[in-house]
Amino acid sequence: MSKVKYRFNPDSLSYEEVNHRNLMIRKFISHLATGLVFAVLIFLAASYWIDSDREKILKRENKLLETEYEKLLERMEYTSQVVTEVQQRDDDIYRSIFGTEPVKSNFSSPNKYAKVQSFNINWMLSESEKYISKIEKESKTQQKSAEELFNLVKNKSSFLPSFPCIQPIFNKDLKYMPYGFGNRLDPIFKTQQFHRGIDFAIPEGTKVYATADGVISIGDESRTYGKHLKIEHQNGFSTLYANLSKILVKSGQKVKRGDNIALSGNTGKSVTPHLHYEISKNGELQNPVHFLFADITAEQYHQILIFTSRGGLCLD
């Protein structure tokens, strides 16, 4: 038989018998609540640290989606680079032919992507939308530019023979890669100096060709250019061929594109036999690399751009 328990009642100042049944119920409820709290804590911990099968599948799908998205971005970036190269060639070459301003890209500054972002869509979709929109705009710009150029060519086709557009030497398969235009390390003074043209490292006595129709102008031999000559073309163009060993034409002589006008050499400020080649339009120097397109492929043109964009030596 269980013992009877009493408790003191301060109101009646007497001891009263404790209800054993109520006491058991309170203990049971207390233990039950404690167990439920621990069970909830264990469940939450397990849910946080241990992935369910569904969660594992979703994580794998998300990882695959991220990988595919990265590949998509790479493709978009490559396409954007192609468009940029086309635009550069358009600006630097074809616009120089006709003396007109290039078509400008029309990117609006307002945030057109706010609507997409407001839907709380995955940020990857928003980035894709931006890339695609940019490429579409660039493509439309270049398409408009191409249409204008086509119309200009129809009206100025008689001018094209006097436009310098070939290499000044026979250079099959880019056997002789040109050294670039712009700031380069001077081989003699070992300082950064502006290189006015491009250099072809070729054996002395290599044939040099006129790159367009024009009239010969021969200057006095100089310490920098050595033996050199200039050809005056139409529409303000002129080409200069320097560090020659022998000149085969006379001042005032008219020449056609592809005529052999000189032999390469090592005269003037030169560290090795080569040909120095310059192009000017209305007295302003142009990068000759952009004027070699008539006898090279698009792939070769891209190869030359990469090579000449790297800093390095010039040969004079």
Average pLDDT of 8-20?
A: 66
Q: Rounded distance, CA 163 to CA 279, Å?
A: 10
Q: Which of 102, 239, 295 is nearest to 304 (CA)?
A: 295
Share of the chain above pLDDT 90, in %: 26
pLDDT score for 3: 63
Which comes out higher in pLDDT, residue 164 or 95? 164
pLDDT score for 116: 47
Give 69-91 pLDDT, tens digit per residue. Answer: 777 777 777 767 766 766 666 66
Which comes out higher in pLDDT, residue 174 or 138? 174
pLDDT score for 109: 47
Share of the chain above pLDDT 70, in %: 63
Q: Rounded distance, CA 263 to CA 267, Å?
A: 11
Kindly state the tokens that stand for 224: 């920098």
pLDDT score for 170: 93
Neighbours of 38 (CB within 10 A): 10
Average pLDDT of 15-41?
A: 72
Q: Considering only 3-7, 113-117, 178-182, 220-224, which range has the smallest mean pLDDT?
A: 113-117
pLDDT class of 312 with cuts at 50, 70, 90: low
Average pLDDT, the chain: 77
Q: Is the pTM of this model over 0.85?
A: no
Q: For tokens 């269980």, what's the residue?
A: 2
pLDDT score for 112: 52
Asked whether residue 250 carries a pLDDT value surpassing 90, the answer given is yes
| Inter-residue contact 238 to 300 (CB < 8 Å) | no
pLDDT score for 159: 73
Asked whether residue 21 carries a pLDDT value surpassing 70, the answer given is no
pLDDT class of 61 with cuts at 50, 70, 90: confident
Mean pLDDT: which of 10-19, 66-75, 245-254 is highest?
245-254
Which comes out higher in pLDDT, residue 241 or 138? 241
